[in-house]
Structure formats: structure tokens, C-alpha cells
């Protein structure tokens, strides 16, 4: 397809880049720019800028930038002419009719979109007018789906067999290459030629956010198996990547900064019909990291509403983890047993469903509730349960929320909050234990009460191995890094003599006749010490101490951030003013902490 410069200019002039990109990315106004999370690289703080006046976008994180056509190219993985065509169609700009040669040259993707469009129209007509569509019409009516919804979601019907080749004939008549239709998953090739893939099913097309049909779901009208027959991976669709109805939900999502994820097509359609237009379906149970990242691109808050059975519980937990890793705030919407979103909204109405969304529980609470049930079922002794409770909180919640969730979990287990608190080493030190991959808070080792936390042992082990490092790190690592009094006392002696410590014997000399301290250090020097960290050389020791310093800086920032948070919260309720400087400081702290977190998790 040829597109001349005049057409390009017209496309750019008629497309408001701010509102167009705003349909993909939640954008906030900042000065003359619009700012949001970059859709082209993973990030948790916005560095993606759109300049509506000048008609271009730019990401300061990954460097991607360009005009709106470039955006569509990157976003939808299209060639320049394909992207221009999408925008032209959207802006109502007629492109010159293609000659057959140009049509042949069109990309395979374009041809599959066209074949899917023809198939969808065929299915829609069969549902509306076809003689055999009666069963499907009855099914749709029985599910409470209105004609307007049928139209809006372009629902259709694949008639039953025989004959086996109705869609095949339709596609052939419309000039679709059947080999291509097979690639699109619409037909199959048998010994005596092509035949229809979908038969006797309610047909639900899935749209890309640019408006093309990329896949179909076919639902059996009766108990036929499988219940759903879906397009598998094709050149325009990767199974497990798409989200159903995102093309319609994204505007409402951008407005409310929230999305609701349900399992099935019909749940999703029922919510839209009830006016809850930020709903999408995951098309499968636990959704993938790609889907989580896609959701996060459109909204910060994601409400998961899956079936409440055992399989649904596991799927929900997995999905919550994927969302946390993608930087979304995840919540779980709970429905009464036996209900799914479709049945619930039909029986109780949209307001009742919205109420359930308002009452959705945060991801941490959802997971804690599940674990609390398990702990209860195990009938542990109170002391054991308290330890278990503390362990769970630390495994499931970010450190800054431990205290809040300890109170919650203790209540759930009828334990005293103090017992739970005292059964842990919870405190700042734990904040800088190296954490594993993004989003997950792994269970940390809880040392027995007699032994100091391994992190303190590791710091001292590094220093006794190479006492010269005390002078170097003494300022950055204060004595308050040690909660264990014996270790803190040893470290204080080391710091006092920092300038003169060259070898381990210098340290022992400095400790004089403090026998207990000497014994502790000797224990640390033994190769079989229980600490996991064994420093190979000076570089490894420095790397470890650098991590410790980073962690201490981070917990200091965290502490200051919490102070400011509290102050601003309080000001909010009492009406006291909060200075601009404090707000700036808070924003700056959040950015610094975020940067540190990303660095720690190995994310750029």
C-alpha cells in the first residue's frame, strides 16, 4: 500500500497524540507534558513523556520516541504502512483503493485480520438470522445477554455440521486464501480438503487494542467438551498474552486507574452490560507475567475476581504475584460461594458488585487469610503458632507493612500481638537482608533466639577476616546496625581501634581480656561457621559490606519516608498545612527508594 506524504501529514494532524497514547498508558499531566509508565520497558516510576503540542513521545528510561505512527508501530509490532493504516482508519481518512498486486504484498498479519473480520461477520449473521441459530439465540437469551451487547461484542454463532465447510465456502467466496485461514485457526485441512474448525458454538471475537480481531473463543451451547474452543497461537495472536475486552476497557481503566480481571468471556461481557466497563477477562486461570505487565500499563490498581474454588485460589495467588512483580497494586474481589461475576451481577445488580469491589482485600491480606486457615487447621501450640505467624507476615508482606499485618494475623489466630512480635527479629536489620526477585518476599531465615541474626555475623566475619576494612566502613556502618548487644560491643571496640587494626591478632589484642568476645570471634573465624556467606577474598567482603551500607541507607530513607507519610496523613485529617518542601522531599524519597529497589532486584 502506498501512503503519500500528504496522507501522513493528515493522519498526524487528525490524531491527538495525547489522547491516543492515553488510551494505552495512564498519563498524568506534568507541566506541558503528559507523563506515564513506559509501555516499552518495565518501570515502576514514570519516565515516559508525551508532548501533545509538538506531537511526539519520548521515554527517558529506554530512549524510545517518535510520532504517533511510530508509537503504533512499536506498541502493536506493525510495519510503518500497517501502523499508518490503523491510524488512518481511526481518523476516518480514506486511503486509495488497493490494486491486487498491493493486496498480495500486504503482510500476512493484515490478511489474517481481514479473514477474521469476514469470519466474525459470518458468525454474527448466523447468530442473528440463521435458521440453525435458534439454539444459540435461546442460549444467549437464557444467559441474559441483550441484543445491544451481542452487537457491541460482535457475538456470533458457528452453525453445526453438516455440511462441514460453511465458513470454508464463505471465506473462499470472499477471496481468502484457505491456507492462510488455516494459519489463522479458522479452518482445518483434512484428507478431502478444508473444513470448519468451529461448529455449533457461540463465537466470541477477541480484539487487539487497535481494533483488529486477533482470536476467537467458541463456547459450547450444551455440555459438549471442551467447554471453550479457543484460537491457539497464530501469527497475530499468542495464547496467554491477550486480554479479552481490553480494547473497550482501556478507556474506563485509564479514567479510574483500575481494572477488574475475571476469568471468562461471559463474566466479562455481563459486567460490561451492567455498566462496569473496566472489566477484562484473562482467558484462562492464572494469568501470565506478560498479561500482568499489559494490565499495569493501563491501570495501577488491579482487582482480581476469579472463582472461589481451590483451583481458583491457586490461580489467584499466582496472578497476585505476577501483578506485584509488574508493579501493580493488586486486590481480590470476593464473591459469595457458588457465584461468579456473571451470576452475581445478574442476581444482585451492578451496585452490589461495585460494593464488592470496594470491599476487595489487598493481596497480602488475601494470602495471609489463606495461610491463617492452614495454621489454624494444624492446631499448633500458641508459641509455635506465634512463630509461624511472624514468619508468614515476613514472607508475604513488604517490611514496612510487617507491623500492621502482625496485628491482623495475630487477631486471626487469637494470639497476643506482643507474643508474635517477640517471636521475631523483625526490625530494621531485616530490611536490608538481600531480597530475591521482583515482587516476592521470600521467607527469611529466623535464627534461634540465642544466636544473633546471620547478617550481623556476616558483617563481623568480614571485619575479622580483614580488619583494615573497619576504618573504611566504620562511618557508614554504625554500631546501631547490631541489635545483638555482644556483637555491638565487639564492633564498638573495633571501631575505637580502627586505625590500628591490620590483622585478626590486632583485633584480639584490642579486645584484651574480654574472653567471651574473643570466643565469639574465634567461632566466626572457623570455616564451618553456620553463616551461609563465606568470603573468598577482599572483593567479596567489600561487596557484602557495600550491600549492608546500601541496606542501612535504604532503611534510613524508609524511616524518613514513613515519618513524612504519617505527617502528611495527619495533616490531611487535621487540616494542618504541609509545606511544599516536605512534599518534594517525600516524592524524592519515594523515587530514591524505588531506584534502590530496582537496582537490588536487578531491574534497570
Task: By CB under 5 A, name the binding residues for Zn ion.
Answer: 38, 40-41, 59, 61-62
Q: Closest approach of Cβ 30 to Zn ion, in Å? A: 16
Q: Closest approach of Cβ 76 to Zn ion, in Å? A: 16
In Å, how far are 4, 206, 272, 331, 362 from 268, measured between CA atoms? 41, 12, 6, 17, 22
C-alpha cell at 129: 438470522
Q: Can you tell me which residue has the cell 516499552?
A: 40
Residue 302 in contact with residue 295, Cβ under 8 Å? Answer: yes
Residue 244 in contact with residue 230, Cβ under 8 Å? Answer: no
Report the residue number, 19 or 45, with the smaller CB distance to Zn ion: 45
Q: Closest approach of Cβ 39 to Zn ion, in Å? A: 8
Q: Can you tell me which residue has the cell 527479629?
A: 425
Q: Closest approach of Cβ 71 to Zn ion, in Å? A: 12
Q: Closest approach of Cβ 44 to Zn ion, in Å? A: 12
Report the residue number, 37 or 363, with the smaller CB distance to Zn ion: 37
Sequence-ordered list of residues with C-beta below 8 angstroms from that of 266, at least 6 positions apart, any chain: 143, 145, 219, 342
Report the residue number, 46 or 218, with the smaller CB distance to Zn ion: 46
Q: Can you tell me which residue has the cell 536490608?
A: 432
Report the residue number, 37 or 268, with the smaller CB distance to Zn ion: 37
Q: What angle do CA 27, 33, 36 make, to 5 degrees?
A: 25
Q: Closest approach of Cβ 47 to Zn ion, in Å? A: 6
Distance, CA of 326 to CA of 293 (rounded, Å): 5
In Å, how far are 1, 95, 177, 506 from 99, measured between CA atoms? 8, 12, 17, 88
Report the residue number, 61 or 468, with the smaller CB distance to Zn ion: 61
Report the residue number, 38 or 114, with the smaller CB distance to Zn ion: 38
Ramachandran assignment for 338, one of left (phi > 0), alpha (psi -120 to 50 degrees), beta (any other): left
Distance, CA of 121 to CA of 128 (rounded, Å): 11
Sequence-ordered list of residues with C-beta below 8 angstroms from that of 556, at least 6 positions apart, any chain: none
Q: What angle do CA 301, 284, 111 make, to 5 degrees?
A: 100
In Å, how far are 139, 204, 339, 408 from 220, measured between CA atoms? 10, 11, 20, 45
**Helix H segments across 379-414?**
382-396, 402-412
Residue 602 in contact with residue 434, Cβ under 8 Å? Answer: no
Report the residue number, 379 or 604, with the smaller CB distance to Zn ion: 604
Distance, CA of 366 to CA of 312 (rounded, Å): 13
Element (H, E) at 422: helix 417-422
Q: Closest approach of Cβ 409 to Zn ion, in Å? A: 39
Q: Closest approach of Cβ 40 to Zn ion, in Å? A: 5
Q: Closest approach of Cβ 43 to Zn ion, in Å? A: 7
Q: Closest approach of Cβ 198 to Zn ion, in Å? A: 39
- Residue 460, CB half-sphere, CA atoms under 13 Å: how many? 32
Q: Closest approach of Cβ 21 to Zn ion, in Å? A: 13
Q: Closest approach of Cβ 347 to Zn ion, in Å? A: 45
Distance, CA of 166 to CA of 595 (rounded, Å): 58
Distance, CA of 483 to CA of 448 (rounded, Å): 14
Report the residue number, 63 or 434, with the smaller CB distance to Zn ion: 63
C-alpha cell at 80: 510503518
N-term to C-term CA, the chain: 39
Helix (H, G, I), strand (E, B) or coil at 281: strand
In Å, how far are 128, 132, 144, 155, 348 from 148, measured between CA atoms? 12, 21, 11, 10, 21
Report the residue number, 292 or 507, with the smaller CB distance to Zn ion: 292
C-alpha cell at 324: 506485584
Report the residue number, 38 or 115, with the smaller CB distance to Zn ion: 38
Report the residue number, 27 or 38, with the smaller CB distance to Zn ion: 38
Q: Closest approach of Cβ 38 to Zn ion, in Å? A: 3
Report the residue number, 57 or 194, with the smaller CB distance to Zn ion: 57
Report the residue number, 62 or 568, with the smaller CB distance to Zn ion: 62
DSSP 8-state class, residue 223: S
Residue 301 in contact with residue 311, Cβ under 8 Å? Answer: no
Rg (alpha carbons) of the chain, rounded to whole number: 30
Distance, CA of 398 to CA of 553 (rounded, Å): 17
DSSP 8-state class, residue 226: S
Report the residue number, 27 or 59, with the smaller CB distance to Zn ion: 59
Report the residue number, 290 or 369, with the smaller CB distance to Zn ion: 290
Q: Closest approach of Cβ 60 to Zn ion, in Å? A: 8
Q: Closest approach of Cβ 68 to Zn ion, in Å? A: 16
Relative orientation angle of helices 454-465 and 538-574, to the nearest 10 degrees: 140
Amino acid at each position: 500500500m502506498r501512503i503519500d506524504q500528504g496522507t501522513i501529514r493528515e493522519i498526524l494532524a487528525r490524531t491527538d497524540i495525547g489522547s491516543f497514547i492515553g488510551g494505552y498508558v495512564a498519563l498524568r499531566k506534568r507541566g506541558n507534558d503528559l507523563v506515564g509508565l513506559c509501555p516499552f520497558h518495565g518501570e515502576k516510576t514514570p519516565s515516559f513523556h508525551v508532548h501533545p503540542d509538538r506531537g511526539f513521545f519520548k521515554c527517558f528510561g529506554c530512549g524510545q520516541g517518535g510520532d504517533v505512527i511510530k508509537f503504533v508501530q512499536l506498541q502493536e509490532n506493525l510495519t510503518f504502512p500497517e501502523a499508518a493504516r490503523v491510524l488512518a482508519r481511526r481518523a476516518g481518512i480514506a486511503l486509495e483503493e488497493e490494486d491486487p498486486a498491493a493486496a498480495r504484498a500486504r503482510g500476512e498479519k493484515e490478511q489474517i485480520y481481514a479473514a477474521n473480520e469476514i469470519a466474525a461477520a459470518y458468525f454474527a449473521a448466523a447468530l442473528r438470522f440463521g435458521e440453525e441459530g435458534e439454539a444459540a439465540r435461546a442460549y444467549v437469551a437464557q444467559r441474559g445477554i441483550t441484543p445491544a451487547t451481542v452487537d457491541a461484542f460482535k457475538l456470533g454463532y458457528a452453525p453445526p455440521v453438516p455440511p462441514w465447510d460453511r465458513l470454508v465456502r464463505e471465506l473462499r467466496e470472499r477471496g481468502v486464501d484457505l491456507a492462510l485461514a488455516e494459519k489463522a485457526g479458522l479452518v482445518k485441512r483434512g484428507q478431502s480438503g478444508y473444513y470448519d474448525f468451529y461448529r455449533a458454538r457461540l463465537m466470541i471475537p477477541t480484539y487487539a487494542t487497535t481494533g483488529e480481531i486477533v482470536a476467537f473463543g467458541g463456547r459450547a451451547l450444551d455440555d459438549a467438551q471442551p467447554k471453550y474452543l479457543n484460537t491457539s497461537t497464530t501469527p497475530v495472536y499468542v495464547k496467554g498474552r491477550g486480554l479479552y475486552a481490553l480494547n473497550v476497557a482501556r478507556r474506563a481503566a485509564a479514567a479510574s486507574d483500575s481494572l477488574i480481571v475475571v476469568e471468562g468471556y461471559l463474566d466479562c461481557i455481563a459486567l460490561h452490560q451492567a455498566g462496569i466497563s473496566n472489566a477484562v477477562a484473562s482467558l484462562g486461570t492464572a494469568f501470565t507475567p506478560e498479561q500482568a505487565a499489559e494490565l499495569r500499563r493501563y491501570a495501577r490498581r488491579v482487582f482480581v475476581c476469579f472463582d472461589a474454588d481451590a483451583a481458583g485460589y491457586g490461580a489467584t495467588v499466582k496472578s497476585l504475584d505476577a501483578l506485584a512483580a509488574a508493579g501493580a497494586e493488586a486486590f481480590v474481589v470476593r464473591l459469595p460461594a457458588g457465584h461468579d461475576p456473571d451470576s452475581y451481577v445478574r442476581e444482585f445488580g451492578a451496585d452490589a458488585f461495585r460494593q464488592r469491589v470496594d470491599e476487595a482485600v489487598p493481596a497480602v491480606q488475601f494470602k495471609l487469610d489463606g495461610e491463617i486457615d492452614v495454621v489454624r487447621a494444624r492446631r499448633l501450640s500458641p508459641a509455635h503458632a506465634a512463630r509461624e505467624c511472624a514468619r508468614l507476615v515476613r514472607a508475604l508482606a513488604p517490611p514496612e507493612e510487617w507491623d500492621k499485618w502482625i496485628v491482623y494475623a495475630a487477631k486471626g489466630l487469637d494470639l497476643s500481638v506482643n507474643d508474635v512480635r517477640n517471636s521475631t527479629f523483625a526490625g530494621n536489620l531485616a530490611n536490608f537482608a538481600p531480597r530475591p526477585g521482583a515482587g516476592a518476599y521470600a521467607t527469611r531465615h529466623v535464627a534461634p533466639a540465642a544466636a544473633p541474626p546471620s547478617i550481623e555475623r556476616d558483617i563481623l566475619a568480614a571485619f575479622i577476616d580483614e580488619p583494615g576494612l573497619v576504618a573504611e566502613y566504620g562511618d557508614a556502618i554504625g554500631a546501631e546496625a547490631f541489635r545483638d548487644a555482644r556483637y555491638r560491643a565487639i564492633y564498638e571496640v573495633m571501631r575505637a581501634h580502627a586505625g590500628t587494626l591490620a590483622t585478626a591478632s590486632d583485633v584480639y589484642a584490642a579486645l584484651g581480656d574480654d574472653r567471651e568476645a574473643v570466643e565469639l570471634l574465634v567461632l566466626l573465624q572457623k570455616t564451618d561457621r553456620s553463616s551461609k556467606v563465606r568470603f573468598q577474598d577482599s572483593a567479596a567482603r567489600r561487596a557484602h559490606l557495600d550491600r549492608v551500607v546500601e541496606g542501612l541507607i535504604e532503611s534510613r530513607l524508609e524511616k524518613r519516608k514513613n515519618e513524612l507519610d504519617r505527617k502528611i496523613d495527619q495533616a490531611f485529617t487535621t487540616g494542618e498545612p504541609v509545606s511544599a518542601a516536605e512534599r518534594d522531599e517525600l516524592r524524592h524519597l519515594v523515587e530514591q527508594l524505588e531506584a534502590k529497589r530496582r537496582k537490588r532486584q536487578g531491574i534497570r
